[in-house]
Structure 1
Amino acid sequence: MEFPFYDAPNTAAIICCHIIESKSPILYVSHDEDDGMWQFLCGQVHTTDEAKLVSLRWVFDFDHSVGVLADMPCGYYAQRKNRDDSWTIKKQ
């Protein structure tokens, strides 16, 4: 599947340790307004030390469904209830 994001595949993204270590599904995605950083989280409450840096390509390879969010502008977030749900996008 072709990489859909406008950002380079090696762009740093924040992901929670639950996704990396436990293969938890990505349920919340934020495209931060202040710095353009992408965050991919499992929907739980996190502490700073649970955040990990990976490439945007790693996230896409882990879960291709995030590709539909490639055009989501800075200052917006998307969430879903489970891996099979559709994303709901809202302004932060």
Structure 2
Amino acid sequence: MEFPFYDSPDTATIICCHILERQAPILYVSHDEDDGMWQFLCGETHETDEAKLVSLKWVFDLDNSVSTLKDMPCGYYAERKTQNDDWIIRKR
């Protein structure tokens, strides 16, 4: 599958350690309004030191289902209950 995002594949994104270590799926995605940063999280509460930086391409390669969020504007977030559910997108 071709990289679908408008942002560069090497765009830095925030990901939680649980996803990075492949202990949990991506269940929450935020496209921050203030700086345009993408965040990919497992849906649990985290401490600041549990946030890691990876490229947007790394996230896409890990879970192609995030490609459906490529048009999600800044100031919105998406969530799902399980990895097999559809994304529900909401304005923050």
Judge same fold: TM > 0.5, yes or no. yes
Deviations 1:34-74 (A, max 9, x none): 00000000000001000000000000000000000000000
- Specify every segment of 5 or more residues in structure 2 that has no aligned partner in the other structure, as ranges: none
RMSD value, Cα = 0.6
The runs of 4+ residues in structure 1 deviating greater than 2 Å are: none
* TM, length-normalised to structure 1: 0.98
* TM, length-normalised to structure 2: 0.98
- Specify every segment of 5 or more residues in structure 1 that has no aligned partner in the other structure, as ranges: none
Q: Which amino acid aligns with 1:15?
A: I
5 Å-filtered alignment, 1:1-92, equals 1-92=1-92
Residue 21 (structure 1) shift: 1.2
| Paired-residue identity, % | 74
